[in-house]
Amino acid sequence: MLVAERFDIALNTPAGRLTTTLDVPTGFVPITAIVPVARRLGEEALGLEEHQARGSGRSISCRMGCAACCRMLVPLSPPEAFALRGYVEQLPDERRAAILQRVADSQSILRSHGLLNRLWAIADATTAISDEELDPLNRDYYALRQPCPFLEHEVCTIYEARPAACRELLVTSPAELCDDLANNPVTPVPVSLRIGTVLGLLWGALTGTSPRLIPLPLALEWAEGHHKEAGQTWTGTALIDGMLDKMWRFLSQEFKNRQVTRGDG
């Protein structure tokens, strides 16, 4: 049984101050142990952004069953891919088999359109890939309007374990504009903390590798192929300290970005 130590956490975000407590294991744990913690902090930070948006008279358009954004290419950090594999493995046999079949069907479609190898090139890259390099692939993927392999009847089948990138996409523009996210003037809620980026940077620092992104349709297969790396362990406090360091760095850059956007600096 793991022993946990409670930490009081305070983070200044562009939307306000986030204060919370975290129960951190004192023993050695795999990286997946802090994925729920990181997601919780990200959701609390996003909650501050939502509150600010509502305070300025805007409302969130996203609702259950509105899955237009589930045709976009979703990136995962390695820790999220490992966590997703673990989540799917513990599902009942029938449900797990249905998910794996949809993933296989999705990869078949991507292969037929010449996208599968391009996605694997991203997943297997040994150096960081810029947004500019990813943009053509993102556009080609979205042009297929292919539903996420984890989507069933327009409802997410891995909702509890969905990637941070999915959790962070909220819009205040009319929902019908999401039918064409590439060309319509969609207004997203700002994101103070991109947890996938934070976890990716943390994994890179822990393993001495470049930050990488895993396209969601490949996440289970990629994680299976890297299961030995997933088994590495660190002390819970070391993981939390590393995660918070990446968060503070990300927030510092986000404050600067918003100042430039507003023309303050």
Tens-digit pLDDT profile for residues 154-192 = 899 999 999 999 999 999 998 888 888 888 889 999 999
Hey, which residues does 24 pair with through a beta bridge? 5
Hey, which residues does 30 pair with through a beta bridge? 233
Rounded to whole angstroms, the Cα distance separating 38 from 164 reads 9
- Are 68 and 178 a contacting pair, CB within 8 Å? yes
Residue pointed to by tokens 């979205």: 142
pLDDT tens digits, one per residue of 95-108: 999 999 999 999 99
CA atoms within 13 A on the CB side of 250: 22
- Are 233 and 95 a contacting pair, CB within 8 Å? no
Neighbours of 160 (CB within 10 A): 8
- Are 28 and 206 a contacting pair, CB within 8 Å? no
User: Helices 78-89 and 35-55: crossing angle, nearest 10°?
Assistant: 110
pLDDT for 265: 53
Q: What is the pTM of this model?
A: 0.93
